[in-house]
């Protein structure tokens, strides 16, 4: 099942993609997809005739597929080859950071270069949406806490991240830097999230191409380990880390500029498209 949110930013409604690929407005059934509802989506919609719900016009904006997100936790260096291109050792246990939820962006919205930013970089990532919270979650039951999966792009300002102090959060949290979507695919449709091809095109050129099976830690291990330090809540997002091929790791390094187009995709989860624009505040 593919869940969407559509409408103007801040006023999105709940929708779903039917078996023919048509977006349907189900806001009469459920107002929005949030932590309170996302974990029960299959039960809420299951068995209903989706053709009875209004079609969503193709011109309508598609927003981030989860609203009211409490927090974003980003995992770092989960692909060994990405750690190597960054000149860092692969961590022995998951490395993670908090990212501001105000960075959330729709899957087709523009990404704005932060004021003073000069080293904007792409990071195609699998995004896990939590449907149930908890602390000290065993690995064996970690997947019970998952609502579904999305395609993410952990856009990062490397100068802010690496040259302005010790907090990677600085380079991850500016407005618009976390586009994800285009929909949430419920976990019942993805038997193994660690077996998905993942890639990103920049201006039509493939820059990252890997598989989530190359992750050092499984999705279950990430959820479990992080829960030992931070309580998960329903509706939280986990960005699971990026494979090799980012601009920072290239020789010479390649960073995004206004007008560039980013197109991340993951097999079974779809793709989205963001245009990079200059800050105009």
Q: Can you give the pLDDT at residue 38?
A: 96
Q: Which domains does the chain have, with CATH numbers?
A: 2-63 (no CATH), 72-277 (3.90.850.10)
What pTM did the predictor assign?
Answer: 0.96
pLDDT digits (tens, 9 = 90+) for 39-66: 999 999 988 999 999 999 999 999 999 9
pLDDT digits (tens, 9 = 90+) for 223-280: 999 999 999 999 999 999 999 999 999 999 999 999 999 999 999 999 999 999 999 9
Q: Can you give the pLDDT at residue 84?
A: 72
What CA–CA distance (Å, rounded) separates 117 from 96?
A: 23
What CA–CA distance (Å, rounded) separates 159 from 18?
A: 43
- Decide: helix, strand or coil at residue 208: strand
pLDDT at 18 over 90: yes
What CA–CA distance (Å, rounded) separates 100 from 92?
A: 26
The DSSP secondary-structure symbol of 189 reads G
What CA–CA distance (Å, rounded) separates 175 from 115?
A: 10
pLDDT at 2 over 70: yes
CA distances from 62 to 23, 125, 270 (A): 10, 19, 14
pLDDT digits (tens, 9 = 90+) for 65-114: 999 999 999 999 899 776 677 677 778 899 999 999 999 999 999 999 99
User: CB under 8 Å to 207, separation ≥6 — which residues?
Assistant: 122, 200, 201, 245, 246, 247
Q: Can you give the pLDDT at residue 82?
A: 66
Q: What is the DSSP string of 225-237?
A: HHHTTS-B-TT-E
């Amino acid at each position: 099942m593919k869940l969407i949110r559509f409408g103007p930013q801040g006023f999105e409604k709940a929708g779903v993609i039917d078996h023919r690929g048509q977006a349907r407005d189900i806001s009469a059934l459920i107002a929005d997809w949030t932590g309170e509802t996302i974990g029960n989506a299959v039960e809420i919609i299951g068995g209903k005739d989706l053709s009875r719900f209004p079609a969503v016009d193709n011109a309508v904006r598609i927003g981030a597929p989860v609203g009211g997100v409490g927090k974003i936790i980003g995992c770092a260096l989960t692909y060994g080859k990405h750690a190597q291109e960054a000149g860092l050792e692969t961590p022995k246990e998951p490395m993670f950071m908090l990212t501001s939820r105000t960075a959330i962006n729709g899957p087709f919205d523009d990404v704005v270069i932060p004021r003073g930013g000069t080293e904007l970089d792409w990071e195609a990532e699998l995004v896990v949406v939590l449907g149930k919270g908890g602390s000290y979650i065993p690995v064996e039951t970690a997947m019970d806490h998952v609502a579904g999966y999305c395609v993410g792009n952990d856009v990062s300002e490397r100068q802010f991240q690496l040259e302005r102090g010790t907090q990677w959060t600085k380079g991850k949290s500016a407005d618009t830097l976390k586009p994800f979507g285009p929909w949430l695919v419920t976990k019942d449709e993805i038997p193994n999230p660690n077996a998905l091809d993942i890639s990103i095109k920049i201006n039509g050129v493939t820059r990252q191409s890997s598989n989530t099976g190359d992750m050092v830690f499984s999705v279950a291990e990430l959820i479990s380990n992080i829960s030992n330090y931070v309580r998960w809540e329903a509706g939280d997002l986990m960005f699971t880390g990026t494979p090799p091929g980012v601009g920072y790791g290239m020789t010479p390094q390649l960073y995004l500029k206004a007008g560039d187009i980013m197109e991340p995709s993951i097999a079974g989860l779809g793709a989205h498209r963001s245009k990079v624009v200059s800050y105009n505040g």
